């Protein structure tokens, strides 16, 4: 079983998810087995305005541990990250970074910005 | 900052059997940059589907948005939207996206749009001509035939009004070759800026043609649906 540890800048308690990458997809948005796929399937909200199609940066996460165990980023992801607010050297797009390794142990950090992107209901 | 709004479907305009514009009236003014998209939250089959649609109208029109979409065979989101009657509510969040042109172009600017990919390009183009610096603006529109290019009358009118702007049609399958012919083999100028939009592999294929030919990475912007 792969392990995904999720930490929040907002101070929300850490969540630990264990899952079998071979069973992906776990829901319908983002690459099968991506961080977004795993989080959404486990009730953790991560914005994904473009539907997980690598066309925005709303699913931006920072990988604190295990980045070498994730699928490599492609040019389209790099181009978008280039424009992401709060970019770090281990930033990834949650919808593109796939956990394939069944023994992977990954720690991701969800910036506050990634959660509070919508300022409320205007109508 | 993005907001969540309920748009109301005010009008529907068909461009053909499977391409349609939806006009959404908004309860409050909505601020966005040319090229950005909204993310529709569509209630389909007991779930909420997130489906992004580029804003085809211009930011100057703050209380009404236009989106233009294809009916995708078997596609739940586009079928839902095609099934809506005037008066229906459409909940969405936005604006989103960084595929944007909101200032006077600093160089010759080339827009490459395949099919509905013209949606985000249209407000960029209008902004481009409105800030007219005299820099050439070009649009290459991919479609089955010239009379299938969306907004062609408007494009013709823009071209008459602004001599710096010209547009041409090519069959979608010939887009990448035409890009290579004109802007790679055609001359040694690598100072142009490009905005490419469309569905699927054609978009990164054109990106690669241009970047491998020596255009700077940031001069080649694209959005792949
Ligand atoms: C940033 C962004 C902006 C977008 N803007 C628009 C827009 O302005 N107009 C629009 O029609 N679509 C747009 N799309 C695509 C749109 O979000 C949906 O993917 C599309 O409507 C299909 O959804 P669906 O649920 O009907 O089909 P799905 O079952 O989700 O089918 C998706 C399949 O349809 C293909 N597809 C996606 N868009 C089209 C299209 N326009 N024509 C033919 N095939 C397509 C995809 O490649 C994919 O294989 C955009 C996508 C992104 C990422
Ligand atoms: S959800 Fe838009 S890039 Fe990941």
3-state secondary structure of B76: helix
Over the stretch B143-176, which tens digit does the pLDDT of each residue have? 999 999 999 999 999 999 999 999 999 999 999 9
Q: Where in chain B is the domain with CATH 2.40.30.10?
A: 3-96
Q: Where in chain B is the domain with CATH 3.40.50.80?
A: 109-224
- CATH number 3.30.420.40 is the correct assignment for the domain at B109-224: no
What value does the mean pLDDT of chain B take?
A: 96
Look at B28 and A51 and tell me if their CB atoms are within 8 Å.
Answer: no
Direct distance between the N- and C-terminal alpha carbons of chain B, in angstroms, rounded to an integer: 23
Strands (E) across B84-175 are located at 89-96, 109-114, 137-142, 165-170
Look at A50 and B39 and tell me if their CB atoms are within 8 Å.
Answer: yes
- Closest-CA distance, B166 to chain A, in angstroms, reads 28
Report whether pLDDT(B57) > 50: yes
Q: What CATH number is given to the structural domain containing A104?
A: 3.10.20.30
Which is the closest atom of ligand 1 to the Cα of B120?
Answer: 8
Cα B135 to Cα A28: distance, rounded to the nearest angstrom: 44
Q: Whole-prediction pTM value?
A: 0.96
Look at B28 and A122 and tell me if their CB atoms are within 8 Å.
Answer: yes
**What tokens appear for A27 in the block?**
């829901």
Domain covering B3-96 in this structure, CATH number = 2.40.30.10
Residue ranges making up the domain that contains A26: 2-116
In a domain? residue A42:
yes
Distance B225 CA to ligand 1 centre (A): 6
Domain count, chain A: 1
Over the stretch B98-143, which tens digit does the pLDDT of each residue have? 999 988 888 999 999 999 999 999 999 999 999 877 899 999 999 9
**What tokens appear for B109 in the block?**
């600017």
Confidence at residue B102, expressed as pLDDT on a 0 to 100 scale: 85
Site to substitute for ligand 2 among A57, A81, A92, most atoms within 8 A of C-beta: A57
Confidence at residue A112, expressed as pLDDT on a 0 to 100 scale: 84
Confidence at residue B1, expressed as pLDDT on a 0 to 100 scale: 80
Mean per-residue pLDDT pooled into runs of 10, chain A (123 residues):
95 96 96 98 95 96 97 97 92 97 96 79 52
């Amino acid at each position: 079983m792969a392990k995904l540890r999720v930490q929040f800048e907002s101070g929300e308690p850490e969540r630990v998810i264990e899952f079998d990458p071979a069973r992906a997809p776990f829901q319908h948005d983002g690459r099968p087995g991506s961080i977004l796929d795993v989080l959404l399937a486990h009730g953790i909200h991560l914005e994904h305005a473009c539907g997980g199609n690598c066309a925005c940066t709303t699913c931006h996460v920072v990988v604190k541990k295990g980045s070498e165990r994730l699928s490599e980023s492609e040019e389209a992801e790099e181009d978008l990250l280039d424009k992401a607010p709060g970019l770090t050297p281990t930033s990834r797009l949650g919808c593109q970074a796939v956990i394939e390794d069944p023994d992977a142990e990954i720690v991701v950090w969800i910036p506050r910005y990634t959660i509070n992107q919508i300022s409320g209901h205007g109508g | 900052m993005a907001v969540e709004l309920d748009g109301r479907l005010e009008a529907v305009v068909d461009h053909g059997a499977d391409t349609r514009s939806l006009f959404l009236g908004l309860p409050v003014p909505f601020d966005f940059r040319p090229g950005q998209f909204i993310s529709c939250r569509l209630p389909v089959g007991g779930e909420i589907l997130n489906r992004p649609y580029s804003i085809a109208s211009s930011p100057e029109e703050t209380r009404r948005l236009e989106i233009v979409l294809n009916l995708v065979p078997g596609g739940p989101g586009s079928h839902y939207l095609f099934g809506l009657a005037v008066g229906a509510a459409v909940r969405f969040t936005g604006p989103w996206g960084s595929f944007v042109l909101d200032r006077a172009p600093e160089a010759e600017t080339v827009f490459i749009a395949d099919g509905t990919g013209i949606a985000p390009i249209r407000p960029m183009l209008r902004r481009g001509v409105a800030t007219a610096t005299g820099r050439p603006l070009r649009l290459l529109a991919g479609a089955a035939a010239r009379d299938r290019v969306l907004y062609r009358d408007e494009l013709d009118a823009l071209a008459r009004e602004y001599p710096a702007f010209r547009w041409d049609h090519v069959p979608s399958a010939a887009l990448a070759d035409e890009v290579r012919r004109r802007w790679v083999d055609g001359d040694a100028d690598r100072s142009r800026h490009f905005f490419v939009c469309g569905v699927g592999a054609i978009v990164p294929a054109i990106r690669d043609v241009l970047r491998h030919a020596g255009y700077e990475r940031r001069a080649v912007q694209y959005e792949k649906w």
